[in-house]
Amino acid sequence: MKPAASSPLFSGPFALGTFSVRGSGAPAYPGLVVPEGEVLDLRAALGAPNLTVVALLERWDTLLPRLRDLAASRTGDRRPLDELNVHAPVEPRQVFQSGANYRQHVIDLEMAHRSPDDPRTESEARAEIAEIMDRRAAEDLPYVFLGLPSAITGPYDDVVLPDWCAEPDWELELAVVIGRPAHRVSIEEALSYVAGYTIANDLTDRACVFRRDMPAIGTDWLRSKNAPGFTPLGPYLVPAEFLADPGDLQVMLKLNGETMQDESTKDMIFGVARLVSYVSRTARLLPGDLVLTGSPAGNGMHWGRLLRDGDVMEGSITGLGIQRTRCVAEQA
């Protein structure tokens, strides 16, 4: 399900990823990919036969200058992307997911669930909800929950829809990749702990979000979001220095060629720095960890059209490339 060879890859002179030689049976390895579509095996280039992307990120400040030199030199063991399988770019130890973090998305949700006897006009209701979002951004805290690394799959892998999954939905998101251990960091210093960015599609079974047998307990993120393959990730990890502003990127998801989500990260209620700082106030972020920043308006519930067997999702974010995944119904 890879994009066509003419598709743009990413911003900057290089990105990182995890690759394997197609048909070889050899293990996956960390690679440095250049915009022309060649991949350098970083195990040989850095003299580290057991290297992984997480291990590389654990030495991010030291190795980043070396990566710049390798990208510029165009030497070493390089293969064309066409000969390689592209896997999720990183295997995180922890995944932190932000919910209700796009202003227009939350407004749409509130409008969809407002009472039939609400005396306000639609414009009045939207204006009042927008004011609440502005106050939330100024005064409140992000809403963050945990995801499972085992839900991650590659950017071109098929996504299996479990037979118990009644209402599968898409949620394309900007994913932040941590490059240094971070604990109790300030908003002002938070971006210095970010190694780079990638694309995540945080699939959700809407039928499982709330426990019908125990309504008082609230949301069930384990069941609704963490089936194997429910988080397609990648294709690449693009270093932060190659994106001018993570708060000004276009997030777009197409379903079978039709645009469903198309929104700027400007619409985020809490930006990357605030999210990273907030998570770090409780947890200790580790190199390779992911912070998913929430999904904009335009998911399946909004359109009244959820995922089905054979659907193809194409997700892109400015400067980060394109992922393309096909939905396959689980056979009973």
**Would you give the distance in Å from CA 317 to the centre of its chain?**
10
Residue spans per domain, the chain? 15-87, 95-329
Number of neighbours of residue 142 by Cβ within 10 angstroms? 23
Q: What is the pLDDT of residues 241-298, one digit of tens each?
A: 999 999 999 999 999 999 999 999 999 999 999 999 999 999 999 999 999 999 999 9
Q: Is the pTM of this model over 0.85?
A: yes
> CA-CA distance, 74 to 68, in Å (whole number)?
11
Question: What is the token pair recorded at 76?
Answer: 């070493």
Q: What is the pLDDT of residues 73-106, one digit of tens each?
A: 988 889 999 999 999 999 999 999 999 899 988 8
239 and 208 Cβ atoms separated by less than 8 Å: no
Q: Is pLDDT above 90 for 115?
A: no
Q: Is pLDDT above 80 for 148?
A: yes
Mean pLDDT of 51-75: 96
Mean pLDDT of 39-66: 97
Within 8 A by CB and 6+ apart from 290, the residues are 90, 92, 94, 95, 96, 147, 175, 176, 177, 178, 200, 233
73 and 38 Cβ atoms separated by less than 8 Å: no
> CA-CA distance, 133 to 140, in Å (whole number)?
10
> CA-CA distance, 299 to 168, in Å (whole number)?
10
> CA-CA distance, 223 to 225, in Å (whole number)?
6
Tell the CATH topology of 95-329.
Fumarylacetoacetate hydrolase; domain 2 (3.90.850)
Mean pLDDT of 39-62: 97
Within 8 A by CB and 6+ apart from 25, the residues are none
CB environment 221-232: b (16+ within 10 A), e (fewer): beebbbbebbbb
Mean pLDDT of 103-111: 81
> CA-CA distance, 173 to 142, in Å (whole number)?
16
Within 8 A by CB and 6+ apart from 123, the residues are none
Give the CA angle between residues 281, 283, 288 to the nearest 5°: 115
64 and 259 Cβ atoms separated by less than 8 Å: no
224 and 230 Cβ atoms separated by less than 8 Å: no
